[in-house]
Amino acid sequence: MSLFSEVQSNVSLDNALKSNTPLIRLLMSAQRPDSLSLAMVNLRMGESGFASEPPVTVDQMFKTAVERFGSYTALGWKEGEQMKTMNYQEYYQACRTAAKSFLKLGLERYHGVGILGFNSAEWFISDIAAIMAGGFAVGIYTTNSPEACQYLAENCKANIIVVENHKQLQKILQVQDKLPHMKAIIQYKDALKEKRPNLYTWAEFMELGRDESNTQLDDIIATQKPNQCCTLIYTSGTTGQPKGVMLSHDNLTWTAFAVGRHVQLTEATKSQEMVVSYLPLSHIAAQMVDIWVTMKVGGATYFAQPDALKGSLVNTMREVRPTAFMGVPRVWEKMQEKMKSVGAKSSTVRRKVAVWAKGVGLKTNLSKMNQTPVNYRLAKKLVFRKVRKALGLDRCTKCYTGAAPITKDTLEFFLSLDIPVYELYGMSESTGPHTISLPNAFRLTSVGKLIPGCETKIHSPDQEGNGEICFWGRHVFMGYLNQADKTEDALDAEGWLHSGDLGKHDDNGFLFVTGRIKELIITAGGENIPPVPIEDAVKEAVSLVSNAMLIGDKRKFLAMLLTIKCQVNGDTGAPEDELTPEAVELCRKLGSNATRVSEIAGGRDRVIHAAIQEGINRVNENATSNAQRIQKWIILDQDFSITGGELGPTMKLKRPVVMKMYKEQVEHFYKEVVTPSTPDNSLPPK
């Protein structure tokens, strides 16, 4: 049966909600497959538990939050040295005013409002106001090129684009002639450098709707239904153009309810949760945590500085002292590197105490003993409290990681400091999380267990139980905007969402993600090799390594591209030639005087070259087959970065980009006709 069905325009919500068939039907007009005026989905309601929660719209959830938490702080941000805040009542009214302004500027039903800028109160208000006014909230990555911005704006028929500053404004001005639906641009930070028709400051924009009647807005809100689309999340588009993931009101509001309840967040009336917003809001993980889950429990979201990922995040963390914190793996890795660098400079006594405490911390957390040992309590007093305070995590009871794989080494490092980092797993198409690790349900390297009300199926498992991970639940998306064929690829005939990830369950129901189908390396000999476990093993065996990428698809043997830990430019985020203090310290221990990447890259430092080969040999010893051994490798001249294009906005490795950039080095690995039987990286001449 086709996924798409022609329906009458008067489809009732009641019928859609009552339906509990396994088939998700994207109810669209067959004449206009891109029309969203009729787009509604059958909600996957359950008879009991989380899945039976009554569906609500974004406005209904927000109103409830205002009724319950009206005077509590909703948003906080720094202006100079001063912390400014907005409570829930003010927040809701600001969103309504902005929604009326959008309508006055000509926002049409089911047209996009693009938001291009760093996290801020204005970003949140624009997002929610777009939904209230009957449009779509559409986050745009700040790293996007003008052409990428044009594609998104065209794809969602954006009437309005909200930009942060002059730099982002220029991107839109470069392509505005190619955007026939665009009616206005709003700049929310800094003074306008030039006056243009239909270009507004944030203050001018808010003034437009301040005295407008509420009637038009209230009428639009009254027509909104939980099973209609309200937000578009664009996939990062590592291969081909980004796809617009259509999320309904219920996708957002139900997931916010389920996640908040499942991880046992406390409501503001008991004790207010605090979060720091710094990850790109065009990514579903950041949006779900920072906007929706926090709103559901009356939490407060504080905004970091735009240079958060370049080093200032820890300052915001110390000031806000969040109770819950979400970090992508690279953020946790950077913290780990920083702490190791500080540790390398500590006195011998302090270092010994820290090493002892970490050993106790790891052992205690791994064994999860019922009684807390005396030495653990002492370690907590001497080391753990100080470390947590230094990171701004002294009152954080829920630390999470997601959006990309994290190494066991990093998880164990934080566990040893009594900071368990809980993995969660999901995708844009599942409105964020599908499984979450909890303090009482935690396995190292597992992404946890199902959120109640959701289901998982392992499709076509092999002998070891590995197969494609498939999702089911009220968090599953509506479809891809204007791409019926891609929607049918993602959602099968029974409505299961195919993730494209490989995984398996253990006997206790914990899910382990073992790789990505598209990333699987299939050697010339026909062996399937997931690259991430081998890459992680190398990073663990060779502490100098920052990034590792395994090569070998359709090749006779495996090879690897490596980068070395280096300093990052505080302004641009670009990698520099200078090594990190931790890397310099490691070089000294190995007997090398290197202080720069250029002294090591391409095998220029014999000592480091030999040490890396030794680490790779150790990894190869544990390989399950000869085909899984790394035969050749090279150290590249610079580390991967977002600015360089090798990493995506959430610091996930963009393999196709790296392959293209380093095509010459990759081809060099395979120039010899003979397949090497042993690792063959000839040392440079003395």
Residue that has been written with the tokens 């198409």 in this structure: 429
Q: Which candidate, 323, 327, 325, places its Cα nearest to that of 335?
A: 327
> Judging by beta carbons within 10 Å of its beta carbon (0-12, 13-18, 19+), is residue 363 exposed, middle or buried?
middle
Per-residue H/E/C for 624-657: CCHHHCEEEEEECCCCCCCCCCCECCCCCECHHH
Whether the CB-CB separation of 116 and 176 falls below 8 Å is answered with: no
Q: Tell which residue, 535, 471, 533, has the closest CA to residue 498.
A: 471
CA dihedral of residues 323, 328, 333, 334 (deg, nearest 10): -80
Q: Is the pLDDT of residue 143 over 90?
A: no
Q: Give pLDDT, residue 40.
A: 82
Greater model confidence, 60 or 380: 60
H helix or E strand, kind and range, residue 17: helix 13-18
Q: Options 3.40.50.620, 3.90.1580.10, 3.40.50.12780, 3.40.50.300; which CATH number does 324-394+397-519 get?
A: 3.40.50.12780
Q: Does CATH number 3.30.1330.80 belong to domain 58-308?
A: no
In the beta sheet, which residues pair with residue 561?
A: 549, 634
The predicted structure's pLDDT at residue 187: 99
Average pLDDT estimate for 410-438:
92
One-letter identity of residue 431: T
Q: What is the pLDDT of residue 686?
A: 41
Least confident of 10-14, 135-139, 244-248, 259-263: 10-14
State the Cα–Cα distance between residues 60 and 65, nearest whole angstrom. 9
Whether 385 shows a pLDDT value over 90: the answer reads no
Is the pLDDT at 649 greater than 90? The verdict is no
Residue 17 pLDDT > 60, yes or no? Answer: no
Average pLDDT over residues 160-174: 98
Among 231, 180, 308, 177, which residue's Cα sits nearest to residue 58? 231
Average pLDDT over residues 439-452: 92
Compute the average pLDDT of residues 21-46: 52
* pLDDT over 70 (residue 26): no
Q: Averaged over 8-21, what is the pLDDT?
A: 36
Q: What integer is the mean pLDDT of 493-515? A: 93
- Between 341 and 498, residue with greater pLDDT: 498
Residue 569: predicted pLDDT? 87
> Mean pLDDT throughout 532-539?
92
Burial of 610 (0-12, 13-18, 19+ CB in 10 A): middle
Closest CA to 49 of 482, 401, 331, 450: 450
> Which pLDDT value is given to residue 517?
87
Paired residues of 77 in beta bridges: 84
Task: Give the containing element (helix H, strand E) for 132.
Answer: helix 121-132
**Domains 324-394+397-519 and 522-669 equal at CATH topology level:** no
> pLDDT at position 4, please?
27
Per-residue pLDDT tens digits for 283-330 = 999 999 999 999 999 999 999 999 888 889 999 999 999 999 999 888
pLDDT of residue 241: 84
**What average pLDDT does range 137-156 have in this prediction?**
95
Percent of the chain clearing pLDDT 70 (strictly above): 85
What average pLDDT is seen over the chain?
87
Which residues, at least 6 apart from 654, have a Cβ–Cβ distance to it below 8 Å? Answer: 236, 238, 645, 646, 647, 648
pLDDT beyond 50 at 56: yes
Asked if the model's pLDDT at residue 84 lies above 60, the reply is yes
Query: Residue 500: phi, psi to the nearest 5?
Result: 85, 0
Q: What is the SS3 assignment for 163?
A: strand
Give residue 296's pLDDT: 99
For residue 359, what pLDDT is reported? 58
Within 8 A by CB and 6+ apart from 41, the residues are 16, 24, 25, 26, 27, 227, 248, 478
What is the average per-residue pLDDT within 492-511? 94
Tokens linked to 388: 């947590």
pLDDT higher than 90, residue 338? no
Position 401 scores a pLDDT of 95
Where exactly are the structural domains of the chain? Answer: 1-42, 58-308, 324-394+397-519, 522-669
pTM of the model: 0.84
CB-count exposure of residue 638 (10 Å: 0-12, 13-18, 19+): middle
Alpha-carbon distance of 353 to 350, in angstroms, equals: 5
pLDDT exceeds cutoff 50 at 598? yes
Predicted confidence (pLDDT) at residue 411 exceeds the cutoff of 60:
yes
Domain 522-669 has CATH 3.30.300.30: yes
Compare 336 and 73 and report the one with higher pLDDT.
73
Query: What is the band of 41 on the pLDDT scale with cuts at 50, 70, 90?
Result: confident
pLDDT interval class at 12 (50, 70, 90): very low
Q: What type of residue sits at position 340?
A: K
Q: Which helix (H) or strand (E) holds 505?
A: strand 497-505
Asked if 460 contacts 447 with a C-beta cutoff of 8 angstroms, the reply is no
Kind of pairing, strands 398-401 and 229-234? unpaired
Confidence of residue 625 (pLDDT cuts 50, 70, 90): confident
Return the minimum-mean-pLDDT range out of 31-45, 68-82, 280-294, 395-409.
31-45
Give the whole-angstrom CA distance, residue 141 versus residue 653. Answer: 16
Nearest Cα residue to 250 out of 433, 60, 5, 94: 60
pLDDT of residue 299: 99
The whole-number pLDDT of residue 651 equals: 81
19: confidence class by pLDDT, cuts 50, 70, 90: very low
3-state secondary structure 239-281: CCCCCEEEEEHHHHHHHHHHHHHHCCCCCCCCCCCEEEECCCC
- pLDDT value of residue 37: 44
Task: Return the pLDDT at 11.
Answer: 34
